[in-house]
Amino acid sequence: MNRIIFALDVYDYNEALSLSRELSNDVFAIKVNWPLVMNNGISIVKEISRYSNVICDFKIADIDNTNRLITEKARENNAWGIITHSFTGRRSLKAVVSAAGDMKVFSLVSMSQESFIDNYTDDLVKMSMEENVYGLVAPGNRIDILRHIRSMSGDLKIIAPGIGAQGGGITDAIMAGADYVIIGRSIYSDPEPLKKVKSLNEILGDD
C-alpha cells in the first residue's frame, strides 16, 4: 500500500512525464495542478493517467455551471480524482459531485496556511459529508486542525498537504488521521526523487 500522493508541480512536459514514469509504482497517485496544465494543456492529465491515478487539483471555486464544465474536462481526460473548494457553497459542490461520475471528489475544508476558510471548517466538513464527497483535503502541518477534522468526518478519506517544505511531519500527519499525504517539493527537488519516495515509504512502513 502506498500513502503518498505526489504533487507534480513542475512546468516542463518532459520532466513531468519522466517523473511520472519513475515514481508511479511507489506512490498512490499523482496530483496535477495549474502550473503543469497551463503549460501543457489538459491532455497532460490523460498522458499521466497511463502511469498512475491522477488527481486534478483545480481547487474549483465557481458557480455551479462553470464547476460542471471544469469537472467534465477532468473526467474526459481520465482523471481518477478531482479537488474542489467547498466555501463556494452547496450548489457549487453538488455540481462537481454530479459531473464527476466515477471520479473521486475531494473537498477542501482547511488549508495548510491560515485562511478565512478556518472560520467555516466545521460547516464545510458537514456539508461535504452530506453531499457524499469521497474525501477531504485537510492540513498535514496543522495537526490539531487535522485531528479535529478526522474526528468529524467518519470514514471519509483525508488527503493532507503541508509535509516537508511547509513544515509538517509525515508520520505526525498519518497519526493525526490522514489517509494519504500530499508531497511535492521534498520529492521533485531532491536529486534522487525515487530514492526519496522509497525512504518516505519506509518511514510509513509501506512497500
> Which residues inside 77-106 make contact with ligand O7M, applying CB under 6 A?
83
Start-end of H helices in 6-142 = 13-23, 34-40, 43-48, 64-76, 90-100, 121-130
- Say which of 12, 26, 59, 155 is annotated catalytic: 59
Among all chains, which residue has been given the C-alpha cell 503549460?
39
Instruction: Report which residue's Cβ sits closest to ligand O7M.
Output: 184
122 is catalytic: no
Q: Is 31 annotated as a binding residue?
A: yes
- DSSP reduced 3-state for 107: strand
How far, in Å, are 131, 184, 194 from residue 1 at the CA level? Answer: 28, 19, 16
Among all chains, which residue has been given the C-alpha cell 508541480?
9
Is residue 178 a contact point for ligand O7M (CB under 6 A)? no
Is residue 57 a contact point for ligand O7M (CB under 6 A)? yes
Residues lying near ligand O7M in the complex (CB under 6 A) are found at: 7, 9, 33, 57, 83, 108, 111-112, 137, 139, 161-162, 164-166, 182-186
The binding site for substrate consists of: 9, 31, 184-185
| Residues forming the active site | 57, 59, 62
